[in-house]
């Protein structure tokens, strides 16, 4: 009997962005018709913000919780994958009846960040004239992103958030909420994030940006309407591989993979080690669910993060916050190390000592150690 030929894997689309006409899934949209002024200059001629909600808003709107995602996250915090949602919820286990964010008590809102690619306005979106933004999408900062999120809160009738939660890039926006809108932020949970991006963090991110822009399919960011396999997947994959190493911890990689070869591949003859296969998997997965130009826009926004810019420095800016605050870091995080969370806790009037999430998983520990995160949420909501 002749063996069946191996199954071929379909090429990824030019962009993994959610597109008009795709199933909406659980998404809703906030639409800003008027121009959105941008911190770096210029404006967006209107914008949309995709978001999801769980629970019911109280008559006095006092039970609203804002959850802000990290770099390649989106509004789908919990729930299965399915039409409109290529992956299951990235923080499953935290939202729902009887969970840390009990939806019998709390109304939880999670937007997809401005500049993202899962329903919110970003490089893969179309301008008013119908053309894609592509590489001409403007430079964004956290202040621009929070301005649009504040419009969402206004539309929902939420005058203040009972709690704002964010980790990594989401923590940057959560901190911006507390500093720029202290009257609208009652409690704050900051996870694995800094007051400002450090030189080392900018360096790691800069290499990733160079990888994406060096891909021959990048062509200045204008690739979105090409056929499958014709997006800058190689560059995005290199960026993701590098990022994934910074997201995890060396002891975990050592114990999990060691020097073991992948299957029957021989690294001495062009084969891979298991850890290389692991990185290849994450690179391929991201190409199918994310947009390379959004990766660039959001990474540049993270590099711009400096809560003290134009506010008299970090200490002066942090003193503006009035929220009851918990700041937590991951003990094995080498990307956003604990010293940065200690600086935040020392400068925020509503914070005490830094809480430590114990985890072997590095920066990703804030996403993985849901029981420890749930305990922190419980401290702020009890």
- Active-site residues, by number, are 168, 333, 363
Q: Please give the torsion angle defined by the CA atoms of residues 66, 69, 70 and 76, in that order, rounded to the nearest 10 degrees.
A: 170
Give residues with Cβ within 8 angstroms of 243, minimum separation 6: 71, 204, 208
Q: Which residues pair with 188 in a beta bridge?
A: 164, 325
Q: Give dist(CA 344, CA 251) in Å, integer.
A: 27
Q: Give dist(CA 108, CA 63) in Å, integer.
A: 8
Contact criterion met (CB below 8 Å) for 287 and 237: yes
User: Dmax of the chain from CA atoms?
Assistant: 76
Q: Give dist(CA 243, CA 258) in Å, integer.
A: 19
Show the tokens assigned to 119: 């329903």
Q: What would the DSSP string read from start to end of 3-14?
A: PPPPPPPPPPPS
Q: What would the DSSP string read from start to end of 61-105?
A: ---EEEEE--TT--S--SS--BTTBSS--TTTTSBSTTSSB-TTT
Length of the chain: 382
Q: Give dist(CA 175, CA 320) in Å, integer.
A: 11
Q: Give dist(CA 223, CA 283) in Å, integer.
A: 19
C-alpha distance across the termini of the chain, in Å: 66
Q: 109 φ, ψ to 5°?
A: -125, 130
SS3 163: strand
Contact criterion met (CB below 8 Å) for 91 and 110: no
The H or E element that residue 170 is part of is helix 169-180
SS3 379: helix
Show the tokens assigned to 162: 């009972």
């Amino acid at each position: 009997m002749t063996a069946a030929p191996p199954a071929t894997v379909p090429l990824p689309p030019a962009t993994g962005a959610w597109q008009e006409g795709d199933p909406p899934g659980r998404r809703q949209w906030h639409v800003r018709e008027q121009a959105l002024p941008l911190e770096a200059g210029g404006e967006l001629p209107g914008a949309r913000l995709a978001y999801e909600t769980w629970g019911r808003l109280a008559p006095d709107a006092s039970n609203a919780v804002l959850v802000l995602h990290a770099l390649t996250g989106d509004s789908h915090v919990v729930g299965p994958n399915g039409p409109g949602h290529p992956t299951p919820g990235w923080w499953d286990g935290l939202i729902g009846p009887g969970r840390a964010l009990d939806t019998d008590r709390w109304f939880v809102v999670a937007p997809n960040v401005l500049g993202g690619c899962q329903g919110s306005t970003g490089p893969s979106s179309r301008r008013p004239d119908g053309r894609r933004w592509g590489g001409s999408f403007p430079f964004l900062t956290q202040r621009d992103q929070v301005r649009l999120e504040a419009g969402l809160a206004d539309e929902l009738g939420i005058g203040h958030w009972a709690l704002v939660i964010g980790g990594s890039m989401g923590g940057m926006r959560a901190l911006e909420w507390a500093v720029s809108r202290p009257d609208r932020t009652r409690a704050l949970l900051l996870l694995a994030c800094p007051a400002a991006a450090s030189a080392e963090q900018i360096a790691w991110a800069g290499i990733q940006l160079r990888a994406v822009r060096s891909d021959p399919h990048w062509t200045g960011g204008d690739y979105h309407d090409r056929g499958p396999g014709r997006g800058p997947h190689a560059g995005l994959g290199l960026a993701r591989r590098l990022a994934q190493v910074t997201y995890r911890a060396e002891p975990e990689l050592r114990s999990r993979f060691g020097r073991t070869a992948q299957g029957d591949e021989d690294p001495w003859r062009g084969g891979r080690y298991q850890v290389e296969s692991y990185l290849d998997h994450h690179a391929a997965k991201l190409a199918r669910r994310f947009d390379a130009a959004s990766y660039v826009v959001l990474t540049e926004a993270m590099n711009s993060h400096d809560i003290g810019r134009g506010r008299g420095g970090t200490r002066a800016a942090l003193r503006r916050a009035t929220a009851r605050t918990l700041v937590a870091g991951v003990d094995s995080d080498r990307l956003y190390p604990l010293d940065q969370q200690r600086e935040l806790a020392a400068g925020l009037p509503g914070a005490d000592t830094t809480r430590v999430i114990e985890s072997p998983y590095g920066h990703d520990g804030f996403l993985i150690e849901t029981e420890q995160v749930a305990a922190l949420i419980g401290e702020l909501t009890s």
